[in-house]
Amino acid sequence: MGKPLTSTQTREILPLDRAFFVRDPRRVARELLGKVLVRQELVQQDKDRQAGGACRIARIVEVEAYRGEKDPAAHAAAGRTARNAVLFGPPGHAYVYFIYGNHYCLNVSCEPEGQAGCVLFRALEPLAGMEEMARARGIAVHSPADWPKLTSGPGRLAQAFGITRARDNGRDLTSPESGLWIGDDGFRRRSIRVTPRIGISKAQDKALRYILAGNPFVSGPKKSN
DNA sequence: ATATCGATTATCT
DNA sequence: GATAATCGATATG
């Protein structure tokens, strides 16, 4: 691709703390742009936690905010159920749901416990572990031009990171110990764009989709980027 | 480039 | 029984 991508340099990644997620999901969504999602299994070795297995890292470039019971398009709109219970629990945890009989989608819970706001991950820019992502996706990747097929779209990124409801629903995304977490690698984003959400049938007028302007990994029709 | 459609199942009415 | 925060394939301009 001829376009400038966000940095792929390897630097220390610091996990986000719980307080980051104790805010309105619109604010959390905006702040999550430019952060990274990490899948890194940790194994017990002697008395230390060691990194084990392939490490997958990707930058968050597109998210949507869902506003709990105030939001007709949110899964929590009708109150707490068995499916959405995580949304009403503590902030910073993974809410994973299964959709269209085919795909998983990843969200992170926001706001204080008892309030059900969340942020949906819609697209990522792969930074490391692309071979592992391709294997998880079941596709061949021949060049960087194929990378968007790994993580552009909520179903795709979940599959690339091996995320399922059975495995990851309720996982604490603030701790590297959990093997799936969100961190800050020092990247400083430039402009952000806000648009209506994609793929919903209710509350379509509200602008609650946040993207890194011009990033080639953002999903959906080009005009919405 | 845009449009339409089928797949496939957990969840809720 | 209907629906759904999607994807990939196919058709058409």
Whole-number average pLDDT of chain A:
92
Can you give the distance from the CA of residue A57 to the C1' of nucleotide B5 in angstroms? 34
Which CA distances in Å does A13 have to A94, A168, A184, A187? Answer: 19, 21, 5, 10
* CATH number of the structural domain A22-216: 3.10.300.10
Can you give the distance from the CA of residue A109 to the C1' of nucleotide C10 in angstroms? 38
> What's residue A47's pLDDT?
61
The DSSP 8-state label assigned to residue A216 in this structure reads T
Q: For A130-149, what is the mean pLDDT?
A: 97
Can you give the distance from the CA of residue A101 to the C1' of nucleotide B8 in angstroms? 4
pLDDT band at residue A42 using 50, 70 and 90 as cut-offs: confident
Q: For A73-95, what is the mean pLDDT?
A: 98
Q: For A201-222, what is the mean pLDDT?
A: 93
Query: Cβ distance A215 to A222 under 8 Å?
Result: no
Task: Please name the residue that has the structure tokens 């984003």.
Answer: A189
pLDDT digits (tens, 9 = 90+) for A151-183: 999 999 999 999 999 999 999 999 999 999 999
Task: Count H helices and E strands in chain A, helices first.
Answer: 6, 11
pLDDT digits (tens, 9 = 90+) for A54-80: 899 999 999 999 999 999 999 999 999
Task: Please name the residue that has the structure tokens 């969340």.
Answer: A118
Which CA distances in Å does A156 have to A26, A107, A123, A179, A189? Answer: 23, 14, 8, 19, 23
- A223 vs A88, higher pLDDT: A88
> What's residue A116's pLDDT?
98
Which segments of chain A does DSSP mark as H helices, in order?
A: 18-21, 25-32, 130-137, 148-151, 154-160, 165-168
> What are the contacts of A54-57 at 24+ separation with CB within 8 A?
A54/A129, A54/A131, A54/A132, A55/A128, A55/A129, A56/A126, A56/A128, A56/A129, A56/A132, A56/A133, A56/A160, A56/A161, A57/A13, A57/A126, A57/A127, A57/A128, A57/A129
Which CA distances in Å does A176 have to A43, A50, A95, A223? Answer: 12, 11, 17, 37
Can you give the distance from the CA of residue A150 to the C1' of nucleotide C5 in angstroms? 19
- The protein residue nearest nucleotide B8, judged by CA to C1', is A101
> Among candidates A44, A39, A4, which has minimal Cα distance to A135?
A39
Q: Which nucleotide is nearest to A154 (CA to C1')?
A: C6
Does A3 score more than 60 pLDDT? no
Does A8 score more than 60 pLDDT? no
Instruction: Give phi and psi for A87, each to the nearest 5.
Output: -65, -30
> What's residue A57's pLDDT?
98
Q: Are strands A207-212 and A192-196 parallel, antiparallel or unpaired?
A: antiparallel
Q: Which nucleotide is nearest to A98 (CA to C1')?
A: B10
pLDDT band at residue A2 using 50, 70 and 90 as cut-offs: very low
> What's residue A4's pLDDT?
40
CB-contacts to strand C (7 A): A 64, 66, 73-76, 95, 97, 99-103, 105, 107, 118, 120, 137, 139, 149, 153-157, 197-202, 219
Q: A221: Cβ under 7 Å from strand B?
A: yes
Q: For A1-12, what is the mean pLDDT?
A: 52
Can you give the distance from the CA of residue A186 to the C1' of nucleotide B7 in angstroms? 41
Q: For A4-27, what is the mean pLDDT?
A: 83
Q: Which nucleotide is nearest to A169 (CA to C1')?
A: B10
